[in-house]
Amino acid sequence: MFVRPTEDEVMYCDALEKLLRDVAPVARVQSLDNDKAFDFELHGALADVGAWGVGVEAGLGGSGEGPVMQVLTLELLGRNATSMAVFGVIQYMATRLLRQFGSDAQKQQYLADLCAGKLRASFCMTESGGGTDILAAMKTRASRRDGGWRLQGSKHWISGAARADVLIVVARTAEHRSRGITLFIVPAKQPGVTVTELGTFAINGYDTCAVMFDDVALGDDAVLGTVDQGFMQVLGTLNSERLNAAAVASGIGRGAHRLALDYAREREAFGRPIGQFQALQHKLVHAGVDLEAAWTMTVGAARLEEQGHDVSVESAVAKLSASGAGQRAAQLGMEIVGGAAFDLELPMQRYYRDIRLYAFAPLTDDMIANFLGERWLGLPRSY
Ligand SMILES: Cc1cc2nc3c(=O)[nH]c(=O)nc-3n(C[C@H](O)[C@H](O)[C@H](O)COP(=O)(O)OP(=O)(O)OC[C@H]3O[C@@H](n4cnc5c(N)ncnc54)[C@H](O)[C@@H]3O)c2cc1C
């Protein structure tokens, strides 16, 4: 409504919507979700239209677009194929890190194939000891040995590791709390790497894993960026990740809202469609307003980022707004669809489960509020 895409953006979104209708109709997405299966066909089709190369220059194998096209892609995926939207957030994080910090050789080796969908990456930062205070929790360590590195430790809650070809691993390399962290590119099949799928209740079409590193031998060419500066490198990508998370949350919320609306138009009680009851209409309107506000802020922040502005505050506001609006819309959707909301053939329960991810990933809403309290409102740091 408030977001007016450019002609190019409209053309791209129309093509993507058609692709999703053709390759990923609701019944198929739902059935793969119920089977906990990744949609390789959709992943390939999205690679063919350049979706995985958005944000990467054409010269490096990408589609040459920026943050706005990324949020448009992820919102559409969130509305339709929620797990693939989460894959998209990880894909864009990996390609951004490689694009910004990779050596020429690393870019050559990985970027074009990631954009083409020939490789998949995972981002391994969180550990079982905690994700929010990750610098305190991080026990995974890379030590200098035999002219290279040895990686030891484990990561938890890692998206997509079971089907990843390459892992970007965040490890401690020195004692300094934040300036003692380095990023490593680790082939998933490297001896010493063990991936175990975890049982989870949501994002069923994309695996979530524990990853062990047992004395994994790495060369200097595995370092992504600068030794001991990895945490700063990750922080540098956080704005985009928040925006991308906001886009998926907006998409999931809008998917739930659309489904609730359709249902309210069709379902009858007391001789009229339930959408005629004012109690339901008002709730649907309020949910729609919340979602529209979140989406407007998300695209607005992405446009500012594309113009080169610092959007650390704007992206955090958008993420907090979209996470809340998405969760409320999914909750309302569950109410309006009633008992059928429990039906595993229908996507409402999937929206309701999947939206939970963006209440705490990549950062919890509490931590985003902490950041905004300090950086936006100018209050003393609370943590
Ligand atoms: C399905 C799934 C996929 C994921 N994918 C990835 C991935 O691909 N890569 C990766 O690295 N990680 C991934 N994660 C991990 C995710 O990023 C973490 O779960 C998240 O960062 C939160 O960490 P935590 O779960 O350890 O919560 P904790 O850090 O233990 O926090 C617990 C609670 O305490 C609150 N809290 C903590 N500190 C404060 C404070 N100072 N003020 C107020 N409240 C506070 C938090 O807000 C939260 O409510 C994934 C997780 C899941 C479940």
**Boundaries of every domain in the chain:** 7-120, 122-229, 234-375
Query: What pLDDT score was predicted for residue 366?
Result: 97
- Cβ pair 375, 383 in contact under 8 A: no
Atom from ligand 1 closest to the CA of residue 155: 11
Kindly report the CATH number that applies to the domain delimited by 234-375: 1.20.140.10
Query: What pLDDT score was predicted for residue 71?
Result: 98
Question: Tens of pLDDT along 144-182?
Answer: 998 999 999 999 999 999 999 999 999 999 999 999 999
Residue of minimum CA distance from atom 53 in ligand 1:
157
Examine residue 25 and say whether the peptide bond preceding it is cis (omega within 30 degrees of 0). no
Ligand 1 centroid vs 203 CA: distance in angstroms?
16
Domain 122-229 CATH assignment equals 2.40.110.10? yes
- The pLDDT averaged over each successive group of 10 residues in the chain (383 residues) is 92 97 97 97 97 97 95 98 98 97 97 98 97 96 95 98 98 96 98 98 98 98 98 92 97 98 98 98 98 98 96 97 98 98 96 97 96 98 95
Question: Tens of pLDDT along 54-94?
Answer: 999 999 999 999 999 999 999 999 999 999 999 999 999 99
Ligand 1 centroid vs 305 CA: distance in angstroms?
25
251-288 exposure pattern, b = at least 16 Cβ within 10 A, e = fewer: bbbbbbbbbbbebbeeeeeeeeebbeeeebeebbeebb
Q: Residue 217: enclosing H or E segment and its boundaries?
A: strand 208-218
Which residue from 97, 128, 157 has its CB within 8 A of the most atoms of ligand 1, so it is best to mutate? 157
Alpha-carbon gap, residue 128 to 363, rounded angstroms: 15
Query: What pLDDT score was predicted for residue 1?
Result: 83
Alpha helix (H) residue ranges in 200-345: 230-236, 238-266, 278-306, 312-337
Domain 7-120 CATH assignment equals 1.10.540.10? yes
Ligand 1 centroid vs 123 CA: distance in angstroms?
14
Q: Which residues line ligand 1 (CB under 6 A)?
A: 90, 123-126, 130-132, 157-159, 200, 203, 208, 357, 360-362, 364, 366-367, 370, 383
